[in-house]
Amino acid sequence: LTLALAIPAILAQLSSVLMQYIDSAMVGRLGANPAASIGLVSTSTWILTGFSMAVITGFSVQTAHACGAGDFRRARTALRQGLFSVFVFSLLLSLVGLSISGPLPRWLGGTEIIRDEASAYFRIYAAFLPVGMTGFAASAMLQASGNMNVPSITYISMCALDVVFNYLFIYRLGMGVVGAAWGTG
């Protein structure tokens, strides 16, 4: 039972982390400056994601407790409140991210040659945050209810789509770093 629950959860987390490496690797093929622009703001994207994931975790734990107790009415309430709260919280973080996206690369010590691309990447990432985090919340709620397969399939599909869209936007459309942000979004 532990393996049946753990393996899909592990695959989901691995594919989520893998998406960040995909961006870096695909942009890295464009050269040092594009790779540096993503690297410069990567910790800032992790902060936005991390804060949102903390909210997601809080609501998914409530959902899991309610499901475990057989109180599905309470679980549905936690689900609704969780999805709404995650969306609103990540929307606020998105607005903060959008407002600081211009000066952020300078604050982080980025050289002038990479600031514009770093700023653009962070801006697009921040803009997609509410939709992405609400999707992660939905997957977490499914996991909390005991459904490990759908979130695992969803995360793996997202990873595959990230490769496809990154390839399309970065290489085929020649959008570079901005294409990586759009592909991930």
Is the C-alpha dihedral spanning 98, 44, 89, 53 positive or negative? positive
Structure tokens at 87: 């969306």
Cβ pair 114, 36 in contact under 8 A:
yes
Angle CA(171)–CA(176)–CA(180) in degrees, nearest 5?
90
Cβ pair 110, 118 in contact under 8 A:
yes
Report CA-CA distances (Å) from 69 to 26, 60, 128, 138, 146: 46, 14, 35, 20, 13
- Helices 72-100 and 32-68: crossing angle in degrees, nearest 10, is 160
pTM across the whole model: 0.91
Tens of pLDDT, residue by residue over 84-133, are 999 999 999 999 999 999 999 999 999 999 999 999 999 999 999 999 99
Tens of pLDDT, residue by residue over 42-69, are 999 999 999 999 999 999 999 999 999 9
- Residues 95-109, buried b or exposed e (16+ Cβ, 10 A)? eebbeebeebbeeee
User: Which pLDDT value is given to residue 55?
Assistant: 94
Percentage, residues of the chain above pLDDT 90? 71
- Model confidence at 155: pLDDT above 80: yes
- Model confidence at 5: pLDDT above 70: no
